[in-house]
Structure 1
């Protein structure tokens, strides 16, 4: 059975000056300080991601190790952007994407809609090591596809692996 969560993007969270959302907001709400290390590269995306993006060449990749100050790693996430999206929004290729991050940048150009596919595969060796898991342990895998709500164009795909002992996925209306 597959379940897909579809959501329309909304403005950033009120009460924080509009700077925090998603991962950063979740950690702040828990009283923790986020520690995110981002690597930026241009390379071909994995075949399944390339098919979603409609791109078989090099794409911008923002690979993140996402944890908290103190060393706990909660998730690994890589976001993929086509050259056309990066040409329209060059700051996506910079280390600091500014207040609200990459989604805030995309919202300046598009109304966003996201589909998120969740699964629980066995962690790769790299994921297990980074997330403090044992060989054979499972991860929560999220494949989030961000589209322009106007024309359905895929703007970005993020693939994340999360330690299931440290993450809870909640759905609210």
Structure 2
């Protein structure tokens, strides 16, 4: 009797062989059970396993689809901020990306670690701005970005809570308000995707997301924390490796000879 893992391996081989087209649903559970001569429950577990693995993704009643392959990371983040006619951006490979769907704004409590970075107390509310972005022809986003802004700053600058913040977005409004430049510090980590991220990014539970946490400051004041999530197989982080003074060349022993 074939196990669900055996069936998953056979489905994987058929996907790799191009048996079903990308973008159209694969056969339903009943048809898969007949094709692989297994019980319906075995076929169902096999599909769930491949969704969790990231090979397939589910759209509920629309069916289960093959996730398009990623031959290489499509965006390599580096350690620079750039600017064009639309304002600041942080991924050169994603310069032409635009919003997918409608961005939202709400007043809510931030995660505890974000509250600590913002310097607000536990249980205090902040302005939360959510935005999803992707390539110009994208049908679903490849990045989810959430900005957290302290309410005292929003009180001074109400446009930060508006649906439209004008040319250059919130960063231009903040710099205009303080008449000074923003500086940024980023931390990159990885974790399993949560349910909302899996649905929005069309990834399985087995595929992690890269999480870029960016802290924005004007002088010593933290004015925003941004948390951007992206599928780990679509992005990479690239940066030059600089020599610290302790690693300078020629080495100390060789200079003294």
TM-score interval for Structure 1 and Structure 2 normalised by the shorter chain: 0.7 to 0.9
List runs of 5+ in structure 1 lacking aligned partners: none
Report the structure, 1 or 2, having the larger strand content: 1
- Secondary structure at the counterpart of residue 49 of structure 1: helix
Superposition map of 1:34-49 within 5 A:
34-35=99-100, 37-49=102-114
TM-score with structure 2 length normalisation? 0.55
The residue that corresponds to 1:50 in the other structure is 115
> Contact conserved, 1:74 with 1:163, CA < 8 A, in 2?
yes
List runs of 5+ in structure 2 lacking aligned partners: 1-77, 243-257
Question: 1:52, 1:33 → 2: CA distance?
Answer: 28
Cα drift, residue 34 of structure 1 = 4.4
1:98-144: CA deviations, max 9, x gaps? 11111111121232111100011111122122111111211110110
| Count of aligned pairs between the two proteins | 159
Pair 1:19 & 2:89 matched: no
Q: 2:233 aligns with which of 161, 165, 168?
A: 165
TM-score with structure 1 length normalisation? 0.79
Q: 2:129 aligns with which of 54, 62, 76?
A: 62
Q: 2:211 aligns with which of 141, 148, 154?
A: 141
Report the structure, 1 or 2, having the larger helix content: 2
Question: 1:51, 1:40 → 2: CA distance?
Answer: 21
Mark the structure with the bigger radius of gyration: 2
Q: Structure with the greater relative contact order (CA < 8 A, sep ≥ 6): 1 or 2?
A: 1
